[in-house]
Amino acid sequence: MGRKKIGILTGGGDAPGLNAVIYTLIRACRSMKLDYDIIGYKFGYRGLYNNDFIPLTVENTSGILHKGGTILKSSNKDNLFKFPVEVNGVKEYKDESDIAIENMKKEGVEVLVVLGGDGTLTSARDFARKRNEHNEPEIKVIGIPKTIDNDLRSTDTTFGFDTAVNIVVENLGRLHTTAESHQRVIVVEVMGRNAGWIALHSGIAGSADVILIPEIPYSLDKIIQKVEQRNAIGKNFTIVVVTEGAAEKGGKESVAMIVADSPEAKRLGGVARKIAEDLAKANIENEVRHCVLGHIQRGGEPSPVDRLLSVRYGEAAAQLIKDQNFGNMVCLRNGEMSYVSLEKVIGAGEISETKTVSPNHELIRVARSLGISFAEAD
C-alpha cells in the first residue's frame, strides 16, 4: 500500500480555477511537510467507482496554474449514493458508495478533497457521514466550493465567477457594435441557473440596457417600453442580458432539455430565443436577434482575480488537512479564508439553498440609478 494518500476529485461543470486549486494544494502540502502522497481521481466520482486515478506531484503539475478546465476531467452525472446499475437487464439506482470506500482504502487514501458545487458537495457530505464499526469516519473529507454561478450561500465568492463575468462583458462589447450598426435589439442569454449574479454583474459592467434575472419576474411590455424610450432619444438599439432561469411573470422558466441520468436533470435554456420571438411578434420598430453565450462563459484561462482566489482556497484546504480539521468546506468570509461544516453547507436536504440576488441588493439600486431596466412586472 505504501504511504498514506490524499485523493482529489473535481465534480460537476468545469470552472476556471480548478487547476490552480490543484496546483496550490499539492505545493502547500509539501511546504507544510504533510506526510501524504497525492492522487487525482479522473472524471469526478466516477473515478472513485472505477478506481481510476493518476499520481499528482509538484513535477507533473508544473505549469497548470493558469490553465482552464481541469486536468482531472469532470462529470456531473455520477452520484455514487444513487448510481445507475443494470440488474437482470433493468437499470436500477443503488448506493454504491461502499465500492468507493473500498477502493480508497485499497490505495491508502485517508483524505478526500472534493472540488464542486452543491450536487458534488452533497455527496462529499454523505461520504463524510459514513462511519466504520468504531464510529470513526470511513474517509476524511474536505470540500472546496466551485461554481461560476456564485450561488453557494456558505461562501462570499466562488472561483470561476469573475472569469465568467469578464467573458460576458467582453462579448457584450462586441454585440454592442453590431446592435448599434444595425439598430437592433439583441437579447443575450447567460448562465446562472436560478441565480442572477452573472447577468447582474456583467450587465452593469457591460452597459446593458435591460437586465432580466430569475429573482425579478419580467414583463414583456416593460422591455418594449424600454426599447421605445431609447428609440425616442435616438438610441435605436437595445442590449438585453437575461439569465437562463429568468421567467415572465406568471410564466415558467425555459427548459432546454431533460437529462434523465443526471442528478440535475433539468437543463435551463431558451429564454433569449423566447423573448426575441415575443418582441418580434409585438412588431417593435427594431429587428431583434438573440445570442446564447453558453459554455463560452466557463472556458479558457481564469482571470487574475480567480487565480488568486483559487490559490487561496488550495492553501486553506491544505491548512485544514494539517490541522486534522475534516468534514468541512473552505470558504471566503468577509474577505478572509475560513471554513464551515459540510453539514451546514448542504443541510439536511438533498441540495443546498441557492444564494440568489435580493431585489434590495445594492447592485440592483446601482443599476436602476444608471437607467438600466429590470422590466419588473407590476
Residue 149: active-site member: yes
User: What's the Cα-to-Cα distance from 28 to each of 34, 76, 305, 314, 346, rounded to whole Å?
Assistant: 9, 28, 20, 8, 27
Torsion sign across C-alpha atoms 89, 91, 92, 98? positive
Q: DSSP assignment, residue 56?
A: E
Q: Alpha-carbon distance 61 to 276, whole Å?
A: 45
Q: Which of 55, 24, 61 is nearest to 41 (CA)?
A: 55
- Which residues make beta-bridge pairs with 56? 38
Q: Alpha-carbon distance 356 to 270, whole Å?
A: 21
Contact call for residues 17 and 309 (beta carbons, < 8 A): yes
Q: Per the residue annotation, which of 78, 118, 149, 209 is the catalytic one? A: 149
Torsions phi, psi for 285 (to 5 deg): -65, -30
User: What's the Cα-to-Cα distance from 59 to each of 63, 314, 329, rounded to whole Å?
Assistant: 9, 17, 27
Q: Alpha-carbon distance 92 to 346, whole Å?
A: 26
DSSP string covering 201-243: HHHHHTT-SEEE-TTS-B-HHHHHHHHHHHHHTT---EEEEEE
Torsion sign across C-alpha atoms 203, 205, 206, 208? positive
Q: Alpha-carbon distance 14 to 23, whole Å?
A: 16
Q: Which of 76, 80, 78, 112 is nearest to 94 (CA)?
A: 80
Catalytic residues: 149
